Every structure is written in C-alpha cells, then in structure tokens.
Amino acid sequence: MPQTLDGLRILELGQLVAAPSAGRIFADFGADVIKVEPLDGDPLRQWGNQAPSGSSWWWMTQARNKRLIAVNLKTSVGQEIIRKLAGQVDVILENLRPGTLDAWHLGYDQISEINPHIIYASISGFGQTGPYRDRPGFGNIAEAMGGIRYITGFPDRPPVRTGMSLGDELAALQAVIGVLLALYRREREPARRGEHIDVALTESVLSITEALIPEYLNASIVQERTGNQLLRAAPSNTYPTLDGGWIAVGANSSKTFHLLMQAMDREDLAQDERFKNNAGRVAHAAILDRIIAEWTGQYAMEELMDILIPIGVPAGPVMTAKDIVDDVQVKARALIEYVLGNGSEEVGMLGVLPKLSKYPGQIRWAGGSIGQDTDKVLQEFVEASSRDLAAWREMGIIR
C-alpha cells in the first residue's frame, strides 16, 4: 500500500525520546528513517520494563519501522560515514547538546555545504541560541522551566509531573511540524533550499500553556495550582464513584451545567445567582465540586455513565492502561496493534496516529537489535565493501 511519505529519507541522530519520537511519526507514514545508534545502543533500550529480547517494550515502539545502524560518531571514519549518508537524505533529526555535532563536523552549516537541500531539525533543552544554550536539558527540566510544573497539582502540595515525558513528546511534535512546513516550502521553491529548525523543549512546553503568559503580561496574574479543577470554566473536575473509581465531568457551559443539575435533581442550583454564569461558577467552583462529589459518590461508574451520557453531559472514567486496552472505543478504532519483534516475538503497542483515510500509516516491524541494518545501509548509501565493513567493525567504528 502506498504511504504518504514514500520516498522521503530521514537520518535520525538522536537518542532517548524527542528526536526518536519525531522519527517514529515519520516512519509510521512511510519515510525511510535510518536511525544511528552508538555501538552500545540507544539508552532508551534500558528504560522501563524489558522484553525477552533484552530491550525495553518502549524501545520496540519508539524504533518501529526504522532501519537501525550503529556507528561510532566520535571517530573520524564514523563521521565521514554520516556525512556520506547526510548527502543523500532529505531530513536530519537530532537532539544532542548544541555544539556536539558541530564539533564532529556534522552540524547544520557543515552538512548544508554537502547537501544544500537538507532540512535539519535540532532539538535541545533551550534552543541553539541564548545564555542557556549550552545547558543540558531533559523533559523534566523543560516542564519545570516552561511553566507547566508550577501549575500542576494541588495548591497545598508541591508541584507534580504529569507521569509522561511531556516536554520531549511536545518537542517531537514541534519538530515534525517544522519539518513538514520546511518540506512544503522547499518543494515549491525552484532553488529547493533547505532549512534549520530550532526546537527547544522548554519552548515546546510553553507553546501549550494557553492563558498563562498573556494573563501575566496584561493583568499581572500569576496562575497557581488548582488541582483537577479547570481554572477558567466550571464545573469541570474528577469526582468519586460508589465503586471506588473516579469520573471526569465537564459541565462547563451553561447548557451542560443545566443538564447536570437536572440529572442531579438540583435545578435550584441552576437558578442560584452564584451559578447563573460561568464567572460565578468559577468563583464558587469549590462549592459546586463538593455538591457534585456528594452526588456522584452515591452511584457506581456504570450508573453515572448511563445517567449523564444520554442527556449530553460530557463524562468519562479515569482509566488505567488495562481499562484503555479493554475499552470498546479503543477496539473499534483499532488503536492497539501486535507486530513481530525479533524472531517470533509478538509485541503489542499503540497503533499509528493520526488516522488518514486514503494513505494511512502502518506498523511494518517493531524496533530490533543494535546494528541490525548497518551492513545493508552502508552498502546502499556509502558503497561499503565487505572488506570495509569488516575493517570498520574490527576498529570499533560500526556494529
């Protein structure tokens, strides 16, 4: 089946989360993504629970659909191999500390001399310029300095993380957007000039903070933690159920608020002056949440869903991984897929998103072993002979 990005060649020089997540998205939609690992492998292979093959389950998703080669970039021969590869690809994705690839003569300025059409996406903690440029930066630092940690959690408790590598994943999406924008322009320009895309993890987090910065700039308002309560509309929170679960309810428009009050047999509250408009409901959200929680606590989850969904009140259970995998909507949308890993090992993972109607993405294989495609890729792109490969392997340049 033809895919959207058939013919697009990408060289992935990143490790761990951000650049590899961007590479995975491109690979899912048909791009030929060549991932370069150090000789001992991407550290993500050791993050989280391990599959029988010896790499993490997360790795098998992150490296799916990619060709895997292992090259020692700290050697002059390894650097020359990458330069030859870079001359024949459309895109480079990297998330090493700024200056690292420049020192190896593999930075944007150096590669663009070899390949003026190259689109080169650099992902770093703070960007390629500014006083923080050379600082190391992981997702948790970006989430802290990008504002989201400060506003996440309850007001009487310390800031908390979201439980995911949010900063890295947001940066990956910014990189994908940047590359697609650059590709769109390049293919419509006679000179087909390349582009350097500068993505900062911190700025990627800032990009989703909604009113956080405008409210401070224009009204000196510093947003604080409000727990599960939606800051600018109410009621919207998670509430306990009789069977020990939690249900999310979003009755934060006047219409849905009235519908919720009808379901609760509390139409008197819909007429209460305190709750007649959104501003009043936000100001008295704690009172509303307490009343709603007392009501939801009288019913099991299934009963609440049967009450709220038919009348049009947005509601849903707070779901575990097991709940999600077992959910009928997830099954109907075919969001879970099983593919072959190394050997006959079957690996389950989240499927390809977003869904396209005519040229959908697909998972062709799970992430595999270190250097499994090194020989074939170097023979194809670098015209390496069997003797070259054997010598480089003996010298610790490739694996």
Residue at which a domain ends, from 277, 310, 325:
325
1 pLDDT more than 80: no
CA 348/CA 345 separation, integer angstroms: 10
For every residue of 66-93, DSSP letters joined together read EEEEEB-TTSHHHHHHHHHHHTT-SEEE
Choosing from 32, 42, 90, 168, the catalytic residue is: 168
Q: Kindly report, residue by residue over 355-392, the tens digit of the pLDDT.
A: 999 999 999 999 999 999 999 999 999 999 999 999 99
| Active-site residue, 102 included | no
- Domain contains 21: yes
Question: Collapsing DSSP states into helix, strand and coil, what is residue 247?
Answer: strand
For residues 227 and 207, give the distance between their C-alpha atoms in angstroms, rounded to a whole number.
Answer: 21
Q: Please name the residues in contact with 343: beta carbons below 8 A apart, sequence gap of 6 or more.
A: 53
In a domain, 345, yes or no: no
Q: Dump pLDDT digits (tens) for 315-331.
A: 999 999 999 999 999 99
Choose one of 325, 348, 379: the last residue of a domain: 325
| Judgement on whether residues 191 and 249 belong to the same structural domain of the protein | no
- 239 by Cβ neighbours in 10 Å (0-12 / 13-18 / 19+) ranks as buried
The domain that holds 246 is classified in CATH as 3.30.1540.10
Both 52 and 122 in a single domain?
Answer: yes
Integer-rounded Cα Rg, in Å, for the chain is 25
Q: Do residue 269 and residue 123 come from a single domain? A: no
Confidence of residue 163 (pLDDT cuts 50, 70, 90): confident
Supply 376's token pair.
Answer: 């074939």
Domain containing 272: what range?
236-325
CA dihedral 295, 299, 301, 307 (to 10 degrees): -70
Same domain, 175 and 250: no
CB 167 within 8 A of CB 140: yes
Residue 51 is assigned to a structural domain of this protein: yes
Residue 342 falls inside a structural domain: no
Predicted local distance difference test score (pLDDT) of residue 343: 65
Would you say residue 36 lies in a domain?
yes
Q: What burial class does residue 22 get, using C-beta atoms within 10 Å of its C-beta: 0-12 exposed, 13-18 middle, 19+ buried? A: buried
Instruction: Report pLDDT digits (tens) over 94-139.
Output: 999 999 999 999 999 999 999 999 999 999 999 999 999 999 888 8
Per-residue pLDDT reduced to its tens digit, 17-56:
999 999 999 999 999 999 999 999 999 999 999 888 788 9
Domain annotation covers residue 376: yes
Q: Which SS3 state, helix, strand or coil, does residue 274 take?
A: helix
* 172/30 same-domain check: yes
Q: Where are the beta strands (DSSP E) in 73-217?
A: 91-94, 119-124, 195-200
